[in-house]
Amino acid sequence: QVQLVESGGGLVQAGGSLRLSCAASGVIFSRYAVGWFRQAPGKEREFVATIGWSGVNTVYTDSVNGRFTISRDNAKNMVYLQMNSLKPEDTAVYYCAAERWGQGTVVAGPYDYWGQGTQVTVSS
- Gap between the Cα atoms of 89 and 46, Å rounded: 13
| Mean of pLDDT values over 79-105 | 95
| Mean of pLDDT values over 62-72 | 97
**Reported confidence tier of residue 109, pLDDT bands at 50, 70, 90:** very high
Lowest mean pLDDT among 36-40, 55-59, 60-64: 55-59
**Reported confidence tier of residue 102, pLDDT bands at 50, 70, 90:** confident
| Mean of pLDDT values over 70-90 | 96
Considering the chain, what is the average pLDDT of its residues?
95
Q: Work out the angle at residue 22's Cα, subtended by the Cα atoms of residues 87 and 92, and round it to the nearest 5 degrees.
A: 30
pLDDT at residue 56, rounded to an integer: 85
| Mean of pLDDT values over 99-114 | 91
